[in-house]
Structure 1
Amino acid sequence: MRRVFKFRIELEGSNPKIWRELLVPSDITFYRLHHIIQIVMGWENYHLYEFALDSYRIGQRFEDDGFDGPHEIMDAQRIKIGNVLKTNGQKMDYIYDFGDYWQHSLILERIIEDLGLPFPVCCSGELSCPPEDVGGIPGFYDFLKIMSKPRNPEHKELKNWVRSKLVAIDGKYDPQKFHMEKVNWVLLRLDVYIEEWENEGNQQ
C-alpha cells in the first residue's frame, strides 16, 4: 500500500479565500501534481508554472546546461513529491502564469499511511477559480465589480468574454460555485487529460 498526501491549496490574495483540499499518492511527480492542481483549481493549463520550497525550485526546464545551482529550476518530471515533502504542515508555493502571477500556498495537511488511492480525489473546496488571463488578483476583483453592475459600459463585453473560459458553465460564470463533481470526473481520466495536453504541443 502507498502513502497518500492530503493537501490544501489556497489562491493567495483571494478574499474570501478560494481553496481546495485533495488526496494524491505520495509517489507521483511534481509534473503530475501540476496537472492535478490545474484541474482542481480550474485553470486552463497553457502558462508556465513553478513549485518553490526553501531552496527547491521545481518546474519546466527547457535546456539542460549541466549545472544545478541552488536556484536552478529542477525538472518536475523527474522529482517525486514524496522525496521533497516529508512532514505534516510543510508548505510550498505553486506559481502559475508569470504574467498574471497566480500564487498558491500548497500545504501538506496530513500523511496517510497504507492507503490505496487509484486516482487523485478532490475532497472539498469553495468558490470558483478566476477566469484565465483576467489580469491577476487585481484584475479579477475589478472584473467581479463590473460583472455585478449591468449598467457598467464594460459589462456586456466582459460577459461575452468570460463565456469562452473554462470556468464558465453553460456559458455563465458564477464566482460562488465550485463544481467538485466535474473536477473529480476529470481527475478520474487524469492520464487522458495529460496525454491530450502533451499531444497539443504543450510539453516542454
Structure 2
Amino acid sequence: MPRQIFQLKMSLAGVRPPVWRRVLVPGGYTLDRLHRVVQHAMGWRDCHLHSFEIDGVQYGVPDPDGELSLRDELDVRLDTVLGKGSRFRYTYDFGDWWEHDLMVEDAFTADPEERYPSCLDGERACPPEDVGGPSGYLLLLAALADPRHREHAAMREWAGGGFDPARFDPGRASTLLRHLC
C-alpha cells in the first residue's frame, strides 16, 4: 500500500505578524513524531511539556503522577485520527502557553523520489524560548524595533544579536527535519 502524506499548516496562535509553517509528513507518523516535526519546523528546542487536542481528546506524554489526563501520543498514528480538512491544536510550554493551530490542507500518495518530512514554506522566526508567551513576545518585538526603548539593549542581548524576527528559511527547516525526525 502506498504511503499517505499529509500537508499540514501550523500557525502560532496569538502572534502578529503571523508565524507559520507548511510541512509534509507521513500519515503513518505517531503524534510523538509529529511533536518533533512541530519543534524542528517552528524552531523550538523541545525544553517544555506539550499536548495535542484532536476532536476534544488530549494526547501527550502520560503523566506518571496522574495530574494531567492525556492519552499516550506514542499509540496514535496521524492517519487514524486525521484526514484532509482536519483541524487540531498543539500546545507547547504550559508556562508560556504557545498554542499552534494545525490544519491538514491536503492528503496524497507519497512521491517515491521525495524525502519526508519536509518544510515547504513558512513565515517569520519562531519566538525565543521562555520569552513569556505571546504577550512577552510582543514586548520583545517592540523593544527590538525601537533603539530608544528602555529595554532595547537588554532584550537584544537576551534574544541574541543574531535574532531576526522576520527571518525564516524553509530549506534549513527541511534539513533539520530530515536529520532529526
TM-score, normalised with respect to structure 2: 0.92
Match of 1:121 in 2: 118
Q: 1:98 to 1:64 in 2, by over 3 A?
A: closer
Structure 2 unaligned segments of length 5 or more: list them: none
Q: CA deviation at 1:153?
A: 2.5
Q: CA deviation at 1:185?
A: 1.2
Match of 1:37 in 2: 38
Misfit runs of 4+, over 4 Å? none
1:88 matched to 2:84? The reply is yes
1:132 matched to 2:133? The reply is no
Give the match's secondary structure for 2:21. Answer: strand
Contact 2:63–2:69 (CA under 8 A) maintained in structure 1: no
Q: Give 1:105's aligned amino acid.
A: D
Q: CA deviation at 1:152?
A: 2.2
Deviation digits for residues 76-127 of structure 1 (CA, Å, limit 9, x no counterpart): 1121111111x31110000000111000101011110354453200000011
Give the match's secondary structure for 1:23. Answer: strand
Match of 2:163 in 1: 173
Match of 1:162 in 2: 159
Give the match's secondary structure for 1:77. Answer: helix
Q: CA deviation at 1:140?
A: 0.5
CA distance in 1, matches of 2:104, 2:139: 32
Match of 1:98 in 2: 94
Match of 1:202 in 2: none
Higher percent of residues as strand: 2
Structure 1 unaligned segments of length 5 or more: list them: 66-70, 164-170, 192-204
Q: Give 1:15's aligned amino acid.
A: R
Q: CA deviation at 1:56?
A: 1.5
Give the match's secondary structure for 1:173. Answer: coil
Deviates more, 1:22-31 or 1:75-84: 75-84
**Aligned-pair Cα RMSD in Å:** 1.7
Match of 2:108 in 1: 112
Give the match's secondary structure for 1:24. Answer: strand
TM-score, normalised with respect to structure 1: 0.82
CA distance in 2, matches of 1:36, 1:173: 22
Deviation digits for residues 115-160 of structure 1 (CA, Å, limit 9, x no counterpart): 4453200000011111111111111011111111212222111111
Match of 1:11 in 2: 12
CA distance in 1, matches of 2:94, 2:180: 25
Instruction: Give the total of aligned pairs.
Output: 178
Q: Give 1:35's aligned amino acid.
A: R
CA distance in 2, matches of 1:161, 1:47: 19
Contact 1:50–1:57 (CA under 8 A) maintained in structure 2: yes
Contact 1:30–1:76 (CA under 8 A) maintained in structure 2: yes
Identity of aligned residues (%): 35
1:187 matched to 2:177? The reply is yes
CA distance in 2, matches of 1:145, 1:113: 44
Give the match's secondary structure for 1:35. Answer: helix
